[in-house]
Every structure is written in structure tokens, then in C-alpha cells.
A and B are shown apart, each in its own frame.
Chain A
Amino acid sequence: MSTVEIRPAPHVKGSRSVEKIMLRVVYSLLPVCAFYITQYGISALAMMLVTTVACLLTERWFITTGTQSGRLGDFSATITGLLLALTLPPGFPLWMGFVAGAISIVLGKAIFGGLGHNIFNPALVGRAFAQAAFPTAIATYTPSFLPGRFAEFIPSSLAWPLMVPPETALWLKEKQLDALAGATPLAKWKFEGVLANAQELLTSLSGHMAVGPSPLLILICGAYLAFMRYMDWRIPTAILGSAGVAAWGLFMYDPGHYPSPLFMLLSGGLILGAVYMATDMVTSPVTPRGMWIYGGMIGVLTVVIRYYSGLPEGVMYAILIGNAATPLIEQISQPKPFGKGGIGKPKRRGATYPLNPSYISREDSGAVTPTREFLKNKPKRDSGSMS
């Protein structure tokens, strides 16, 4: 007779999907990208297009050959491309950007099996490759808010493929700017001991600072994502908190030698890394406690790498190390199941009724209140009192 269909329960489904999550992340990145473009003009715009196209093309090739999961329409490669562009200097040669974008997908994602299977954040894999392959180009920043930035490219952007990009110093001289203006605040501090003002760093607006998008804007966009639950608030909180505490401790120890924690938090890519890179769902722990451990580890590592290594910037390596540690962190941070070990310290939040009201005598209620024998999974040190 009638054709009924059988499906297993549950028969209703929440409205969330992978496409929706990824698309929201892309939307939240758009203001950040727009600000980056106003800072550096068409060079930045071209860089974003090139890296995104490189990521999408590579992703498409791997999906059509059937060697990786996911779909082009899931927008995860778009995020990788945009994030990669935000971490590269604006005058980075476009052909190098293309290579870095392709490498992001190939080495960062496709060889692991595609979406959901990668261990490292693809954008950071691409950037790490660029750092290793093009060390000079990736360290060459140009000042922001240059006049005429919407009319002409930064000369190094348009270098021919496989050619060494031209020096930007000469070009900057023409603009009557000293070449040093092109060093990032972090590099200035590291190599020359010049500290930038935290307030200027927060907005990225003043002067011709060679910095990325405004940390304030990134924090606002990240707060939107976290509020809509498209990102976990624990990870950025843990990273910024631990980095701040670590930097503050060192600053207190020797204020002359170490910069203030505010400079540490607002300079370089720490905010971008904490909000958009480390929170990549696939490569961060899934357990709430694990997120705190993971974030705390990245924050401290960032400070350590920045202060004690030869590199001015440490966020990228800190996050990659955090990614690598994620499976282990998950193992030690599994959530505690309901009813295992909660006895003796009941969570009374919101509860209305006392377990032992006055009209029920102790003997009545306490007769069979369970003791330790139910806590089989408790650590061994309790074994002495076990029956």
C-alpha cells in the first residue's frame, strides 16, 4: 500500500552546516580584508585574489581527481586563501603568493585527505613554506597608507615568476620615506630596540606603520563569530591570556629588557593568529579543556619564540606546534561523563530542592546514598578506601 520511508532517529536536524560555518567565517573576514586593502592598496587586493585563486584551483584539482574529501562549495579553501594573504607582506611578489597558496592546499590539506583530515592549519603551512623558500621577500614590508597606493603596485609585487623581486628601498626613497619605515614594529623592537605605541598598534591607523590589519577590527570580527558560535571563544581567550601573562611576568622581571605586555599582544600577527588561525576547527582540540591547554600553550610559545629566537615573529610556529600537539592534548582532556566522579561536590547551580530537607530524616535519606563503589574510574590513590 502506501510507501512509508524509514530513517533512523533523530528525525529533526539543526540548521547548522559546514558551508554555513565556513561562509560566516568568510563574511567576518571581509571587513578585515577591506581594511587591509585600504592600508596597502591594489597590491594587497591583488595578493588576496592570487592566493585565493591559487587555493581554489588546487582544491578543485584535488577534488575532481577524487583524492580528497569535501567540496569546492564548502568555502574552506576560500578561508585559507584570504588568511594566507593577510599573513604575507603586501609587497610580496604575486607569483610567490600563488606558489604559497598552492602549497597550502597540497601540503597543508590534500595529502592528509582533505577537509577535516589535515593536521596543520593550511594557511600557516603555506606561510611556513614561504618563510623557508623566500626569506628575503617575506621580511620586506612596505609602509601602509602610502600616497598613490590605489594607482600603482608596490614594485616587488609584479616581479616575474622565478625572478628575484626588485628592491623596494629605492622606490621608497622616491616617496621620500626612509627604508626603515618598511620594518614591522616587531622587527624594529627586535633589531633596533624601538618600541611602538600600543594605542597606535591597536588601530593600525596612524603614520605609515608597516603592520597588518587593525587588531581592534580583528577582535570585533572575532567577537561576532564567537557570539554567533561559529568560533570557540576559549582558544583566543587562552592564547591572549597566556601570552599576556607570560609577557607581563617577563616585563615585571626586567622592564628595561622586555617590552610591555600590551606591545606584545598588539604587535605582529598575534591577534590575527589567535582569532582566526588557532581557532581553525579542524586543527584545534575538540574538548573544552583541551582548548584551554592548546591556547595556553600557543600563547606561551609565541612569547618564548619572539623573545629568545632569531625571528621577530613567533605566532606561526607556535600555532603549528599547537596543531601538532592537538591529538595528544585531546587524549588528556577528554570530558568527564555525567555521573562519574561528581559525588560529594554536587553542582548546585539553579537547583531548587535540597537533597535532605528537614522533614525527611537523615536515616531515611542517607540510607543508601552511594559511596565510592560507584566510582570505578577514580584514580588508584582512592583504592585504599574502596571496598
Chain B
Amino acid sequence: MKLLSYFRGEVFERGVHPPSEKEATADRSIRRLPYASVFTIPLSQHIGKVPKAIVRVGEEVVRGQPIARTEDWLSVPHHAPVTGVVEAIELRPSARGPWIPSIVIRAHAGASQQDLWGQPRDLDQATPDELLQAVWDTGMVGLGGAAFPTHAKLSVPKQAKVHTLVVNGCECEPYLTCDHRVMVEEADELIIGMRYAMRITGAKRGIVGIEDNKPDAVRAVQAAIDRANEAGVPEGELFVEAVPTKYPQGSEKMLIMALFGVEIPSGTLPISMGMVVNNVGTLAALGRLLPEGRGLTERVVTVTGPGVARPGDYRVPIGTPLQFVLDYAGAPAEARQVILGGPMMGQAIASLDVPVTKGVSGVLVFRKEDMAERERLQTYPCIKCGECVESCPMGLNPSTLGMLAAKREYETMGGSYHLGECFECGCCTYVCPSNIPLVQQFRVAKQVLREKAAA
């Protein structure tokens, strides 16, 4: 209810408050996952053209060595996560379902797995364009989950100007704590990464937005900013800001609403208002990789959920088989649901033979009994209670959209009911007392509309 949000001081209208469930992993430091014996690196982990493999079957690779390259601006190179031998370049199952071309590397059992590739560089004198090229060379994509190539996000079109770098440390999805731990443990790298990003974009200030359920992360980042300021300020101001905890605060438009009180106009990116938004994990990884001239070979993944015996945040080499991660974290073997990402927007996977890719922020495991309660829920017709209207962060009317979807009136949904604004956060489905699969219907509708537009 809006009335109550005023008292609570919430800063964007609507949204939901799912139970955070972060307690299991929030206070455990990041641990390194051992190396599996076989790694699978899908060539396509993001939008853009599929990168080309530049290694051959049977070739020895060292950890950090580029193994796939691309000329397409919206695509990124890949690096070997492990020292070993390229065993195959073939189709392998992906999390989304289809088999896609992948490079399979068998690790050398005796290798030390040091980073043997990459030249440390002095980037202090580098121009923004050189820095941007260096970011591209790291193969960095948004580690928050969307996996959009970072260099493309940081590159500012000629006619645009950027004044603010917004760093997204909200992590509003329940269960996930990987960004939280990165902010606590790698705050200095985060500041370095922010400085690089500000130099590339020309931003005069950088603001880290963190949900106020992570006070230790706020303190850690503030301390790192103070340290950086003492060491001498290059240029630009750094801030850290606690924003109210609310799902989906981590959506960039909602975060900008919380920080500046402005709406990013529909159909435009934050850059139209002079802002660039990046995830904390992305910038912290950049801060570590850029000076050493290395590539992205590992990321922090939250492995948690009621079905995991040893939940925690693990530093996982890209390409590690999911089965290996789950075995190490202690997931039981019985029937279960495994989700990549958070519980609100994450994807349930059909097979455990898929690897951890650059966009995987969390692995959630639910046992059969955890799902039992949801299975029992009865689906009713829409009783028009209006909960979904009150919860939609984009100000849509999911109730009416759902009824239109049932009648397959997709054109009306896309036209006068603004379906295109929906970013599938799942708030409407979360609150629906009639248990109507609203966001699922919207996904279908959007796909149909996309196909129609393409035809």
C-alpha cells in the first residue's frame, strides 16, 4: 500500500519485499572452489556474434590464455580458466537448453594453476580509448546476471556525455550474497575499477548504491573510499549510499530513482540522462584484472538454498561443471530444482551437465519438500485484488494484461497496455493470491510480439 511506503520512506513506488534468505551465506567469506578435471567454456555467453575459437583440439593452454576472439563490438573474447589440454571443440548443452559450440579443456592434474598469461601494465597514462580496449581484452561482461559486454556499456556515444557512474550493489534478489561479499572483501579493487570506469566514461562522480540490509558492505566501501582519498584523489568524487531494501531495487532504473529521484524515460538507457550503471562485481573484477592485463577466468558465485549442506560464496573458474559445484557444496542427489541466478528472475535448469558461465551469479538448490507448498497452491481466476498493480515497479497493470494474455490479445497488450516496459521482475506473480502465472504469460506474449515484429 502506498500509504505505508510513505511512512517507511521507500523511494520508488511499488515493488515487493520477499524474505531475504541471505543469512546462510552473508557472513561467510568467499572461498575458492577446487579445480574440476574438465571445463566447458561455451563460446556464446552473451549477446553479439559468437566468438571464434583460436585454439585447436589437442593444444596445450595455460590459465589466462585467450582461447576465443571476436571482432564484433558486442561480443567479448574468452580466456582459458585452467592450465590443460583442449580436449574438444563441439556442441555441449547450455543452461538455456540448446546445445551450443563450446571449448572443452581437461585440466593438467599437476599444474599449479597460476595465472601464467597477461602482462601487468601501467594504465595511469592510458587514454580512455586504450582503457576501453583493455576492458574489451579482459572479456568482461556484466557479472550481475545480464552478461552484457562491459566495454560496450562503458563506451559513450559521441553525442552523449556522462557525468555519473552509478555502481549497483543492491543485490535485491533473495538468497544471493556474491556482490555483498565482494563489496566487503574487495572494496579496494572496486574503487580501482570505479576509477577506471570513470576515466573511460568521463564521469565526474561515482556513486555506489547498496541496499540498507548490508550495512557492513556500506562501511567497507566507505572505508575503501576514505583510503583512496587519503592516498590522493585523481579526479572526481566517490560516494557510497545506502538505499532502502526492496525488490527490484537492483534494476538500474529503480536504483537511479532511489538515488536521484528521476525516472529514466521509457525506451531510453540511463546514458540519456548522463549516467552509466555497472554492477559492483564487474567493477571489482575490472579493478583486479586491468592492471595485470589478464582475462576474466573466474567469478564469485553464491551456492545456497535449503538443499545445500555447505552454502557459501565460492570463487568458481568459468566453465566448471555445475555438478562439480553442487557436489562440493553438498547438495543431495534426490529430486530437486536447481536455479541459476536468484529466485525471482533466475532460470531453472534441465540438466546439471551445464557449466558455470560468466553470467551465473548464484546457484540455488531446492529439495522436493521445499517446492511442495507451491505445488499445493490452487489457481483461481483473477479476483482483481489489485496487488499486482500495487507491486509492479514499472507502473503497469498486470491484472488486465493477464486477462488479455488469456485471450491472446497480444497486440492490445503491447499497444495500449505497455507490455514492452515489463522487464519480467516477477513481482506480480510473487504477490498474486490467485496464483496466476502472470510473468510467464507476459514472456510468451513478448516473444510472440517480437516474432511478429521480426516477420
Contact = CB atoms under 8 A, between A and B. Distances in A.
Interface of A: 1-14, 16-21, 69-71, 74, 113-117, 229, 232-233, 281-282, 284-288, 291, 330, 334-340, 342-343, 346-355, 357, 359-360, 364-365, 367-370, 374-376
A115 B434 CA distance: 11
Contacts of A350: 9-11, 244, 258, 261
Contacts of B11: 349-351
A374 B266 CA distance: 7
Contacts of B344: 9-12
Given A9-B439, A18-B380, A346-B261, A360 B205 contact: yes
A4 B443 CA distance: 22
Contact of B385 (A10, A21, A288, A339): A21
28 contacts: A4-B350, A6-B350, A11-B339, A12-B430, A14-B432, A17-B434, A18-B378, A19-B378, A74-B380, A113-B381, A116-B382, A117-B381, A285-B384, A291-B386, A337-B396, A337-B421, A338-B263, A338-B393, A339-B394, A342-B265, A349-B11, A350-B9, A350-B244, A352-B241, A353-B259, A360-B204, A369-B273, A374-B267
Interface residues of B, number: 100
Nearest to B335: A3
Contact of B348 (A1, A7, A113, A349): A7
Nearest to B431: A14
Contacts of A17: 377-378, 433-435
A12 to B, nearest CB: 5
B348 A6 contact: yes
B128 interface: no
A4 B384 contact: no
Contacts of B349: 4, 6
Contacts of A5: 335-337, 348, 371
B268 interface: yes
B272 A338 contact: no
User: Which 8 pairs between the two chains have the least Cβ-Cβ distance?
Assistant: A351-B261, A116-B381, A10-B426, A350-B11, A339-B266, A374-B265, A342-B263, A367-B161
Contacts of A355: 260, 262, 273
Nearest to B393: A338
Contacts of A359: 204-205, 237
Which of A115, A117, A342 gathers the greatest number of chain B CB atoms within 10 Å?
A: A342
A9 B345 contact: yes
A229 B389 contact: no
A4 B305 CA distance: 15
Nearest to A13: B374
A361 to B, nearest CB: 9
Interface in B409-431: 416-418, 421, 424, 426, 429-431
A2 B346 CA distance: 20
Interface in B333-389: 333-339, 341, 343-352, 364, 366, 371, 374, 377-378, 380-387, 389
B145 to A, nearest CB: 12
Contact of B380 (A70, A287, A339, A374): A70
A2 B327 CA distance: 13
A368 B352 CA distance: 46
A11 B399 contact: no
Contacts of A370: 265, 268, 272-273
B395 A336 contact: yes
B160 interface: yes
A131 to B, nearest CB: 26
Given A8-B348, A339-B421, A348-B261, A288 B161 contact: no
Given A11-B348, A74-B380, A286 B433 contact: no
Given A351-B261, A360-B205, A288 B397 contact: no
Contacts of B207: 353
A24 B261 CA distance: 37
A11 B366 CA distance: 10
Interface in B422-455: 424, 426, 429-435, 437, 439-440, 443
A370 to B, nearest CB: 5
Interface string B13-46: 1001011000000000000000000000000000
Contacts of A339: 253, 263-268, 394, 421
A192 B289 CA distance: 89
A359 to B, nearest CB: 6
B205 A357 contact: yes
Contacts of A18: 378, 380, 383, 433-434
Contacts of A375: 265
Contacts of B341: 9
Contacts of A337: 266, 394-396, 418, 421
A344 B70 CA distance: 42
Given A338-B266, A340-B265, A359-B237, A365 B253 contact: no
